[in-house]
Each structure stands twice: as C-alpha cells, then as structure tokens.
Chains A and B, each alone.
Chain A
Amino acid sequence: MSANIQINVHHVTRLEGHGNIVVNIRNGTIEKCQWQVPEAPRFFEAMVRGRRWDDIQTIVSRICGICSITHSLASTKAVEDALGLQVSEQTDMLRILMHYSEQLQSHTLHVGYLVAPDLFGEKSVVPLVGKAPDAVKKIIKAHRIANQWSDLLAGRTTHPVTLTPGGMTKIPTAQELKDLQKTLKEAVPDLVAICEVVHSVANRMPAFERPTEYISLRQDNPPTYTFYHGDIVSSDGYGPVHIRDWESVANEYVSPQSTAKWCRWHRDSYAVGALARFNNNGHLLSPLGKKVADMFGLKKGCCNPFMNNVAQLAEAAHVVETSIELIDKLLTKGLKDEKVKVTPRAGRGSGCVEAPRGILFHTYEFNKKGECIAANICIPTNQNHANIQKDFEKFVPEYMHLGEEGLRHGMEMLVRSYDPCISCSTHMLNVTFVK
C-alpha cells in the first residue's frame, strides 16, 4: 500500500471554472479526499428577470455551448407551461428530433474526444489522431453528421434559432428530412464500428461499483426511452414525480467544498445521465441500442459509474435508429406551416428534459405582461457533484494501491465518466506571444 499520496488536480482553465481533485494520504491513512467545485456562482437566473417570455430561450441557450439545445428546450417548455400553451404533434416531433441531434453530438464528442484517449492510454485526442486515425475519423464523421442534423432542425449547430414558445419559427422541408434520414441510415455502420473499437479497449475501465440512486425522466404513455417527456423517477423505486415538483427531488443544498449547489434525494447523493436513463428505461432502447448495451454486458441495475460512457454509446445508436423512424412519421403525416399566437399572462411553469449529461430543470414565473419575475435552473452536473464525492470516498481506499499517478489518473477518469459541465460559459483565449 502506498504510504503517502498527495493529489492536487486544479482545473483552472478559465476565469470562473474549477473542478479540483484533492487527496492527502499519510502513512496509509486517508486524511483528505475531496471533489471540490469552487465555481463562481452564475447569475443567469438573475439575468432573465425582467426579460420578456419570448427572450428567455435566446438568453439561456448561452449558458452552455454543448447543451444549448437542451437548455433551449427546457426553457421553452417551462415558458409554455407558465403561459398555458399547447404545441402541435408536429412541433413535438420536430423538437424531439432536434434534441436527438444534440444527444448524438455530445455523446460522440464525449466518448470520442475525452474517454477514448483514456482507454487508448493517451493524454488527449490530439495524439490519438496519430495512434488510431480510422477510429478518430469515424468519430469526427459521426460528430459532423450530428452537427449538420442540429443545423437543419435548430437553424444552427449551437444556440438554436428555430424555437419559439408555442411552436417553431422554421421547419425543414420534406426533402431535407429525407436527406437527413438517408445520412442517418448510412451512419449506422460507422456507429457500430465506433462501439466495436471502444469495446476492444473497454477492459481498461475500472470494475468499480457503488450502489447508487439513479434519477431520470420516465415516460409511460406510450412507454418510451425518453429524453423529453414524462415524470421524474428513481431507480430506488420512488416516483413518478411531476416535473413541476422537481425541487422536492433535487433538494439542493450548500456544501462547504463547493459554490455549486449539491443535490440528494433518498440517499446521501444521486446520479443523473445516460446510465441513470438506462437503469430506469433500458428495456425501452431501440434494437440497435440494446445490441450495443449487450456488446458491453451493460445491464439494468449497473452501478459502475464508468459504464455511463457505454450507456452513452447505446443511446447514440438509439437516437439514430429512433430518428429514422421519427422522420418516416413526420413525412407520412406531411409537414405543415403552423402559426403561433401567444397572449402573455401571469403564471409559473417548469420544463424538464434530459441533457446528454442528465436531467435538467428550468422554472420561470411571469407577471401579467409576460415579464419574468423569478427563475430557477438546476443543471445535471450540480446533481452529480455529491455523487462524485461519494464515489471518491469508496474509490480512493480501493485503488490507492496504484500509487499517486495511477490513483490520480483513475480519479480523473471517474470525473470524466460523468461527462461534467464545468464552467462552460466562457472560452476566451489565454496566450503569450512567442514571436
């Protein structure tokens, strides 16, 4: 056993973003083991106060460059709930199709650019391009398809411009949807190949388990592997809870080691994300999604956080296969230009969707002029912080025999497996001149 270990991974890449791993082991005794998130509080909730109901989505889509479609959909649904707006079946299907594009975009990015380098023993995707060029090219191709898919449905890759409370401002043509469907069909063999490559090195994922409560949406009518509709459920058998009551699930609290709020429901912590969705809804995956899960031996009840990445791959296959069917439905019904008329009113509403990295909640309250007077947003990564801490507390004693370097790498992989959103609101350059 390693007598003394000191780990201090400080994530100081941007102005406000940090996620620090701190471990002190002295004479074989763990004195400190912390996942610290000293991220400056963000004031997006304050920013939307005083803004009109139809400005909210544009503002909150900028909270995150990776999950901007998800934030847009959650906020649009919340505004619709507050204003009592119903959307058409066509709008519903087009939004779900848009949302699927972000799942593929984010999952391929995460597994390909962050997880694969770990499994191949590289520090980042940059050297991996030289080591496994075919695999990287397939990943980039899948990611590129997902971006083009977002462009078509959302009007652009990030920060959508086609959404409006009550409907859509622009819809694709039938021919554009047919072209997308063809592209998705052609993408299936590459997706399977990506899964096979990851599977070939999957034995490098630690066989670490910790019984965990998993929280996600569940849709019963019709039963669907849902990212968009439904109620909140727990893998411990609790729920369904209506999304308007999400605060009673998240139970946000302040931890001294974090300025981001932490969450818990029936245990000390809970997890959200692809593995949570799989554990609650895995039997509803598409055939290809199930095939991918089976390839890796992923089964409902899995409590190995590293398998979140496998669940992401299964979901990537699922969204492609399901979208091919969804496009058929849209084309069969025929696309119609639909007019939206909205009369502002006072009200409070909530919207919830599954971000690629887990369940996301938005709540807004409006006065009778339709101006926002209160907002509350709870992002998936905040819901995972306490769970990462609890994982650390079990992981460190089990893996400290690996020594400082091995333990540090294992803990970094563990954090990465949650696909966290840590400070994504700024990306500025920070450079020195060499010439």
Chain B
Amino acid sequence: MEKETIVIGLGNPLMADEGIGVVLIEQMETLAREGKIPGADRIQLYDGGTGGINLLHVLAGRRKAVLIDCARMGTEPGTIRRFTPDQVQTVKQLAHLSLHEVDILKVLDISRQLGECPEEVVFFGIEPLEIRQQMSLSALLETQIPCFLQTILREISLPADSS
C-alpha cells in the first residue's frame, strides 16, 4: 500500500540551485530519521532526481503529491512560491527529440488521462540564483533552507520541528 502523500524533490545537485528539490528532500529525510517530523509514517519522501517520466509511477495511487523544483517564475532569486498545476502555464517548448526532455506538467497530464493522478497536486517552485556546474547551492539559497523547509512542512500539515 502506497503512502497517501508523496513529497518529491526534483533536480540535479551537480548543477547548483537546480538541485534545490533534492537537497530539501535530503534535509527532510534527516529530520524524519531524527523523529522531528511527526506523522512522517504516512509520507514518502522521494528524491526524483532528473528521472522525469519515471515520476508517473510514483505519483500513482497517492492522495496528495507535493513537488519541489527549481523554477524560473520571473520572481526574485530565493523566492519560494506555492502553486497548483492549473495556476501555471508551461513556457517550455518540447521538440520531442529526446527522452531527456521532460516537463513535469506534461507528466501530470498523462497521469490524469490514465486516471491515476493524485487528487491534490501542489508545487513549490524556488527561483534559482545560479544554474551552473557546481556541487553546492548558491549562498543565497543555502541560507534560505530553514524557511523553505518550514513552508513545505506546513503544507503537509506538519509542524517544522527542527529545533
């Protein structure tokens, strides 16, 4: 039986702020191991990396999915913004030349058509400062991590207890 909520962090930690989703999942895994996330037993934390279409399968059978990803939203770097899929329009243009082009919003389309999409899907987009080959976040995003965690944990109805 799948856990009712899945929190998916997306991105590549080798590409600086692009990896913010994965970094936040790692942080939440640590908090969960330390027993600092009450109710963690009904939540699956998932490092989605850049697996793209593979997410179709981990979304199936959930009640709620929370996706955390680096996002160009036209906001200030370091901004975290909550939105639902119907509130945004992708400006990615896929040439469909490669499996490696992925737009998570299109993965959700397929999931919906198959009738297996979670009834509630929430995104947290985080505006990057630096996208380049670097195995650490920019200092700006690094210092914002506690704030990002608090926002995301509030969403999944859990107090952020990282004291």
The answer to whether B49 and A412 touch across the interface, beta carbons within 8 angstroms, is: no
Chain A contact residues, CB within 8 Å of chain B: 9-15, 17, 19, 42-44, 46-47, 59, 62-66, 68, 105-106, 109-110, 113-114, 117, 123-126, 129-130, 136-137, 140, 143-144, 147, 156-159, 412, 415-416, 419-435
Residues of B within 8 A of A421 (CB): 98-100
Residues of B within 8 A of A63 (CB): 14
Residues of B within 8 A of A117 (CB): 96
**Residues of chain B from 11 to 25 with CB closer than 8 A to chain A in the complex:** 11-15, 18
The answer to whether A66 and B100 touch across the interface, beta carbons within 8 angstroms, is: yes
The answer to whether A11 and B50 touch across the interface, beta carbons within 8 angstroms, is: no
Nearest to A59 among chain B residues (CB) is B14
Q: Report the minimum CB–CB distance from A347 to chain B (whole Å).
A: 24
- 9-residue interface stretch from B36-44, B81-89, B142-150: B81-89
Q: 16 A-B pairs, CB-CB below 8 angstroms?
A: A10-B95, A12-B93, A44-B133, A65-B54, A114-B98, A126-B113, A130-B113, A137-B114, A157-B51, A425-B15, A427-B69, A428-B10, A428-B69, A429-B103, A431-B73, A433-B87
Nearest to B73 among chain A residues (CB) is A431
The answer to whether B54 and A42 touch across the interface, beta carbons within 8 angstroms, is: no
The answer to whether A19 and B95 touch across the interface, beta carbons within 8 angstroms, is: yes
| C-alpha spacing A113/B60, complex, angstroms | 18
Contact residues on B (Cβ < 8 Å of other chain), bracket:
35 or more
**Which residue of A13, A415, A435 contacts B92 across the interface (Cβ within 8 Å)?**
A13
| C-alpha spacing A62/B71, complex, angstroms | 19
Nearest to B20 among chain A residues (CB) is A428
The answer to whether A144 and B57 touch across the interface, beta carbons within 8 angstroms, is: yes
Residues of B within 8 A of A59 (CB): 14, 135
Q: Report the minimum CB–CB distance from B97 to chain A (whole Å).
A: 5
The answer to whether B51 and A431 touch across the interface, beta carbons within 8 angstroms, is: no
The answer to whether B95 and A412 touch across the interface, beta carbons within 8 angstroms, is: yes
The answer to whether B49 and A425 touch across the interface, beta carbons within 8 angstroms, is: no
* Known A65-B52, A412-B97; contact A429-B57, beta-carbon cutoff 8 A: no
B153 at interface, CB cutoff 8 A: no
Q: Report the minimum CB–CB distance from B43 to chain A (whole Å).
A: 17
Residues of A within 8 A of B106 (CB): 124, 126
**Which residue of A143, A158, A429, A432 contacts B123 across the interface (Cβ within 8 Å)?**
A429
The answer to whether B95 and A11 touch across the interface, beta carbons within 8 angstroms, is: yes
The answer to whether A43 and B99 touch across the interface, beta carbons within 8 angstroms, is: no
* Known A157-B54, A412-B96; contact A431-B49, beta-carbon cutoff 8 A: no
**Which residue of A66, A140, A428 contacts B128 across the interface (Cβ within 8 Å)?**
A428
The answer to whether A427 and B125 touch across the interface, beta carbons within 8 angstroms, is: no
13 additional contacts, CB 8 Å, given A13-B93, A124-B96, A433-B89? A65-B51, A66-B51, A109-B53, A109-B99, A129-B114, A140-B114, A157-B57, A425-B14, A427-B102, A429-B72, A429-B90, A430-B91, A431-B73
| C-alpha spacing A9/B98, complex, angstroms | 13
| C-alpha spacing A316/B15, complex, angstroms | 32
